[in-house]
Amino acid sequence: MPSLAGHKLDKYDMLEEVGHGGMAVVYRGRDTILDREVAVKVLHTHLADREESRRRLQREAKTVAKLRHDNIVEIFDSSDPASGAESYIVCEFIHGVTLRDWLDERWSPRPALAAMIAHRLCLPLEHAHSMGIVHRDIKPENVMIRDDGCLKLMDFGIAQILDTQRLTTTGQLLGSPAYMAPELISGKPVDKRIDIFALGVMLYQLATNELPFSGRNPAQVLNRILEGDFKRPSLVDPKVDEDLEAIIAKALAREAADRYQSAKSLAADLEAYLAGLELEPSPAELAGYFGDPDTYLPKLDERVCRALTRRATQAMRAGNGARALKLLGRVLEIDPRDQRAAAMLDKVRARGQRMRQAAAVAGGLAAMGIIAAGVLLLRPDPPKPGSLESEDTMLAGPGGAYQHIPAQNPDRPPLPFGVADTEETETGEDEADGGSTTGFAGSAGAGQDEVGDGGRPSGGGRPPPEGALSFPCTLEIEGLPAAVLAGGDYRLSVAGTGKNLPARASVELEVAPRTRVSLVGESYEGAVILDQSSCSAGPVILRARSKPAVLSFQSAEIPLKELSVSCKKGCSVKDRRASNFPSLPFSRNETEMFVTLVFKAKSYREETQELRLTPGTNTVVVSLEKLE
């Protein structure tokens, strides 16, 4: 298409070309009637070359023009469908740069800043969705940063206007592969939740500076999106905490029903996350950042560290050692030189160690008492009921023996083991004695514990009495990706009874001795036997094992029984029909597998795909080029 710069298009002087993309060429123009600066987007000819396409463009442009929001680029005008000339849309001209440009040149990832930007973009999305308009092409290139720091979402509805025509004329999907929702790729019905998915991709990208789904070519990217598995954000950037990870995982859920159902609900979770950092997602915050990022970012880090330190202090006062350790760890990820956080961390760890030692001593004494009691209880004649004190209870046990359960004072619930009624200062010191082993509740009896270098509890806990009919146990699941956990598709089978698995993969159970617990789901499996000794030592780990990778091939033009598949790299399968391709087992501790497959069919050109496989079903889209 020849440039229109220096020419006139209807009532618009085309002053200069300022951008171009797959859909349009953008010009800075001047409305000669209203004498105002505008942006004129002239669509490529092949996207709107028929009168019906031009009429639909006008209808949809009128619909989108009704949107009135501070964060949406306003549409002023569109071309006359009967003119037969260029098809174009006229909108307000934004002085600034795109978010894509900012990411490439100025971005330094901060989870809090990522949440603020994503929250701000939720607002125009919710407004558009409430009017039945879906964007369909959310990506950094379609977000403008105005000179005053205001974010402007542009090209609303353009993808929807052109999608049918492009599919008809070129057979291609319209949009950026890395941001496309699974249902858009697979041709299923779509709704506003595809915008939620795309915004989730952007949130991941803003938080880590990497895309969740990437590959050497678009086919690889699309297949990885269909698989629905991605690297946990915290593994890419340790500053991303589990709270933001859970939000990202829900936004990126493979099934639309498992995602946020509205931009409003996503915004609410982001706002709550920021409130925990004592931040408000206001326009002033973003204006401060985009206006002077070099000054804003150090101050933001200081504010976040102060908020996390205050929360850690509150957790310590509440006896929640594990929570305090996590919060202080986040502070040191942001600022490794924070001496106050380091001192508090050492204090918490030292107390956790003392509490474990105290728990071990208590456990030894309890065991000695049980042995002595057993000698007395294993007598031929059990005590007569009348000889028992009315406040006590006797429970029949094996072999006719009885277990003596002492009564408790109903007026005062027992304190967790190791907890004393002491107040702590903000640095974690005890005001009473400056270092009492009972001034802070560690893991013993309260389910909390010192966290080691890997960020997991390292042991501890009050041993349950031997011979108890049931006992508490903390079970942690390892090996499940964050996206799999957030999807809610996995359950635990506890002695044959189903139990929901929470998103954080940590479950508090009340079980009988030798209880079998197994993981139930499509892609991962595992089992463990729970007993008193393992549960009293701290959280019990159930390690998820990868099920074999099952390949589900999809081809619109070739029957699967006529499609031949051979493994060139990563496996040993040769010349098998796609309809009966075998599953591929994983090695121990592996959760992904890279293979290169060659696809052949009569009268079609051979195709090679490099795939990343995950446990369970993997959808593989095959599209071969027909030979002339």
Residues designated catalytic = 137
- CA–CA dist 127, 192 (Å, integer): 11
Classify residue 66 as exposed, middle or buried by CB count within 10 Å of its CB (0-12, 13-18, 19+).
exposed
Give the residue from 246, 217, 257 showing the smallest Cα distance to 486: 246
Rounded to 5°, angle at Cα 288 from 287 and 293 = 115
User: Which residue reads 């007569």 in tokens?
Assistant: 384
> Dihedral of the CA atoms 280, 281, 285, 290 (nearest 10)?
160
Q: Which amino acid is at 262?
A: S
Q: Are 521 and 544 in contact (CB under 8 A)?
A: no
Collapsing DSSP to helix, strand or coil, 557 comes out as coil
Residues whose CB falls within 8 Å of the CB of residue 478, separated by 6 or more in sequence, listed in order: 505, 541, 542, 543, 544
Distance, in Å, from the CA atom of 132 to the CA atom of 318, rounded to the nearest integer, reads 47
- The total of other beta-carbon atoms located within 10 Å of residue 361's CB is 10
Which residues are CB-neighbours of 414 under 8 A, at least 6 positions away?
A: 408
Reduce the DSSP state of residue 494 to 3 states and report it: strand
Reading phi first (left if > 0) and then psi (alpha if -120 to 50, else beta), residue 486 is in alpha
Instruction: Give DSSP secondary structure letters for 344-408.
Output: HHHHHHHHHHHHHHHHHHHHHHHHHHHHHHHHHH-SSSPPPGGGS-TT-EEEE-GGG-EEEE---
DSSP state of 544: P
DSSP state, 559? -
Enumerate the β-bridge partners of residue 419: none
Other Cβ atoms closer than 10 A to 150 = 17
Contact yes or no for 558/604 (Cβ under 8 A): yes
Q: How far apart are the first and last CA of the chain?
A: 29
Give how far the C-alpha of residue 57 lies from the chain's centroid of Cα atoms, to the nearest Å: 36
Cα gap 119→154, rounded to integer Å:
16
Q: For residue 601, give every residue at least 6 positions away whose Cβ sits within 8 Å of its Cβ, in sequence order, or none.
A: 558, 562, 563, 564, 624
Query: 3-state class of 91 per DSSP?
Result: strand
- H/E run at residue 599: strand 593-600
Q: Is 332 helix (H, G, I), strand (E, B) or coil?
A: helix
Instruction: Measure the CA–CA gap between 387 and 529, rounded to whole angstroms.
Output: 40
Element (H, E) at 311: helix 293-317
